[in-house]
Amino acid sequence: MSNRIGPLFPLRLRHLPAARLLSGAVLAATLPLAMAACAGPRGADEMSSSAPNSDDQGAAVKPIAVGEPHPMPAPRTCNADAAKAALVGKTADTATVERARTQAGGHTVRVLKPGQMITKEYMDGRVNVHVDENNVIVDVGCG
């Protein structure tokens, strides 16, 4: 009967200690990861930060208490109507595109050509200058 069982179980007894050693090593390697995942989030006072604790003017930033909502940053504004009236119909050269950005009050500008693939995310301070096939400005928008 032992001859018939032998082919069904290719693992020999001399390999068993190595298998146990390997499974023990895997367990020892993954246990700290599992324990770290179970630990709760650290508080802000426990985390180290390399950023200075002040804003652009050099004044100290008030820490936010736990559970208090974070203040929203001031939104960037873009007024495309201010640039649209003066620039529609003009050729979109570097100076004209920069003038569209400054007149609209945007922080960035992009020129959008017909059929060009664009990203659809909305950025309030971005000025979109739409041009036709001849590089003439047909519309100015924000986003």
Distance from C-alpha of 110 to C-alpha of 118, rounded to nearest angstrom: 10
Dist. CA 109–CA 87, nearest whole Å: 14
Report the residue count for the chain: 143
Identify the pLDDT of residue 86: 87
Amino acid 79: pLDDT:
83
> 0.85 exceeded by the pTM?
no
pLDDT at 51: 47
d(CA 39, CA 74) in angstroms, rounded, equals 35
Report d(CA 120, CA 10) in Å as an integer.
Answer: 59
Query: Which sign does the torsion angle of CA 124, 84, 138, 95 carry?
Result: negative
Pairing of strands 137-142, 126-131: antiparallel
> For residue 107, what are the contacts with CB-CB under 8 A and spacing of at least 6?
76, 101, 125, 126
pLDDT along the chain (143 residues), means of 10: 52 59 74 70 54 50 69 70 87 91 89 90 88 93 87
Residue among 1, 25, 141 at smallest CA distance from 84: 141
For residue 66, give the nearest of 42, 39, 38 by alpha carbon.
42
